[in-house]
Amino acid sequence: MSVTQQQVLDSLARIKSPRGVALTNANVLSAISASGGKVFFSINVDAAEARAWESIRAEAEAAVRAIPGVTTVMVALTAERKPGSAPPPPPPTPSRGAPGVQPVHAHKPPQGGQSPMSRQSEIPGVAAVIAVASGKGGVGKSTTALNLALGLRDLGLKVGLLDADIYGPSVPRLTGLRDKPELNAERKMIPLRRFGLAIMSIGFLVEEETAMIWRGPMVMSAVTQMLRDVEWGRLDVLVVDMPPGTGDAQLTLAQNVPLKGAVIVSTPQDLSLIDARRGLAMFKKVNVPVLGIVENMSYFQCPHCGTKSDIFGHGGARHEAEKLGVPFLGEIPLHMAIRATSDAGNPVVDSEPDGAHAAIYRAIAGHVRDQLKGVIAAA
C-alpha cells in the first residue's frame, strides 16, 4: 500500500509547534518524500529553539509511522543559526528509542586549529572512519570507494561502507542491493551485507531523486543518523563515500564525522585537479589527514588489445600529490570492465579478483591500511 503526501500532511496537521501552531502552518516543513511506504522529510527550525522542537520531531515521526502502509520514516530536525544569534545549545543525547531520533547540528563553519576528534565522539566498535572524496562529481569516487573497501576486505580487515553521497547515492546500483534495512531490538538500523561488507546508503531509505533537493543541514542530519543509529558492529575500517564537491555541506560533514583520514579521487585533467586541490584544502581546514590521492581514469586501456592511451593526460594527480606533499596512492585505468562490473552491481575487485584491476585496488588499499595501522592495531 503506498502512502500519499496528503496522508502525511493530514497527520502532521494534528501536531502543534511549541508556539501552539499546527505543524503544517508553522513554516518549518521541508518537501515531503512519500514513496512506497517510505516517508522522509525534515523540520527546519532556528537553532535557538531546537531543544523545544525535539519532542515534536519525535511526535511527528510517531504520527507518520502510525499511518497504515508506512514502513520507514525518517524525520530530521535541522537547525540553522541566524546571523548574529546566540550559539545553539549542545546537541541532546540521541534517543535509541526510535530510528529517526536525531541530534541537531547547527550549520556553522568549522573552527581551525582544533582536532576533529575533540569535537566528535568516535563510533563504538569502529576503529577508523575514512572518507573518499572528490572535488566534483563523475570522477569515479563511488566506484573507487567500493573497490577500495573490497581491497581492504581482501587484506583481512573487517570493513563497512557508508554511502553518504546524499545528492546521488550510487551504492544501491553498485552493489545491487535494494532492500530496506531492518531494525534491531534497540531500533537501530542493521546494515545490509554484501561481499562481506556492512553497507548502508541513504538510497536504501529514500529514492535517488529525493536526496537531490536536500540542503546542507539536512545532509548532515541524515549522515549522522546513518553513522550513529546503525548497528555497524566491530569494524576495522568504515569507508564513507562523501558527497562530491567542497561546498558547505561537505565541509560540515568533514568536520562532524570522526574521520581518521581522507582519500581524494581525481581524474588527470587540470580542471579535476583544481577541484582535488580544493578537497585537500577542505580536509586541511578541519585537520583531517589526507591519506593520499588516487588518479582514476588515469589512462585508457583498450579492452580488446590492452593498448594504453592517455586520453585525459596522465600522471597529473601524481605530480600534484608530490607538489602538495601528500601520498600518491595509485592509478586506476579507464576500462570497460570497471564500468560494466560497477554498473551491474558486481564490483571488479569481487567479480574479477585475480585480474589486474583488482590488484591495483588492493595495492591502493594496502597504502591506506599501512597509514591506519596504528589506529587499527590500537582498537
Site residues (CB under 6 A) for ligand ADP? 134, 137-143, 170, 244, 296-297, 332, 334-335, 338-339, 342-343
Coil, strand, or helix at residue 71? Answer: coil
CA 105 to chain centre: 16
To ligand ADP, the closest distance from the beta carbon of 303 in angstroms equals: 10
Does 141 carry a binding-site annotation? Answer: yes
Contact 104, 79 (CB under 8 A): yes
To ligand ADP, the closest distance from the beta carbon of 188 in angstroms equals: 27
To ligand ADP, the closest distance from the beta carbon of 7 in angstroms equals: 34
Q: Which residue is nearest to ligand ADP (CB)?
A: 140
CA 214 to chain centre: 13
To ligand ADP, the closest distance from the beta carbon of 335 in angstroms equals: 5
The residue (of 288 and 297) whose beta carbon lies closer to ligand ADP is 297
The residue (of 45 and 332) whose beta carbon lies closer to ligand ADP is 332
End-to-end CA distance of the chain: 45
The residue (of 237 and 276) whose beta carbon lies closer to ligand ADP is 276
Q: Name the DSSP class of 43.
A: E
The residue (of 191 and 279) whose beta carbon lies closer to ligand ADP is 279
Does 138 carry a binding-site annotation? Answer: yes
The residue (of 13 and 336) whose beta carbon lies closer to ligand ADP is 336
In whole angstroms, what is the distance from residue 98 CA to residue 76 CA?
12
- Provide long-range contacts, Cβ within 8 A and 24+ apart, for 306-313: 308/333, 310/268, 312/267, 312/268, 312/269, 313/268, 313/269, 313/270
The residue (of 63 and 291) whose beta carbon lies closer to ligand ADP is 291
Does 315 carry a binding-site annotation? Answer: no
To ligand ADP, the closest distance from the beta carbon of 223 in angstroms equals: 16
In whole angstroms, what is the distance from residue 347 CA to residue 161 CA?
13
In whole angstroms, what is the distance from residue 142 CA to residue 133 CA?
9
Does 142 carry a binding-site annotation? Answer: yes
The residue (of 182 and 343) whose beta carbon lies closer to ligand ADP is 343
To ligand ADP, the closest distance from the beta carbon of 245 in angstroms equals: 10
Q: Which amino acid is at 199?
A: I
Q: Which amino acid is at 64?
A: V
In whole angstroms, what is the distance from residue 332 CA to residue 297 CA?
6
To ligand ADP, the closest distance from the beta carbon of 59 in angstroms equals: 37
To ligand ADP, the closest distance from the beta carbon of 330 in angstroms equals: 11
The residue (of 116 and 330) whose beta carbon lies closer to ligand ADP is 330
Q: Angle at which helices 316-324 and 270-285 pack, to 10 degrees?
A: 30
To ligand ADP, the closest distance from the beta carbon of 158 in angstroms equals: 23
Annotate 296-338 with three-state secondary structure.
EEEEEECCCCCCEECECECCHHHHHHHHHCCCEEEEEEECHHH
In whole angstroms, what is the distance from residue 25 CA to residue 30 CA?
12
The residue (of 78 and 143) whose beta carbon lies closer to ligand ADP is 143
Coil, strand, or helix at residue 93? Answer: coil
Coil, strand, or helix at residue 377? Answer: helix
CA 164 to chain centre: 1
Does 247 carry a binding-site annotation? Answer: no
Residue 326: all three cell numbers together: 601528500
Does 136 carry a binding-site annotation? Answer: yes
Coil, strand, or helix at residue 162? Answer: strand
Residues making up the annotated binding site for ATP are 135-142
Residues making up the annotated binding site are 135-142
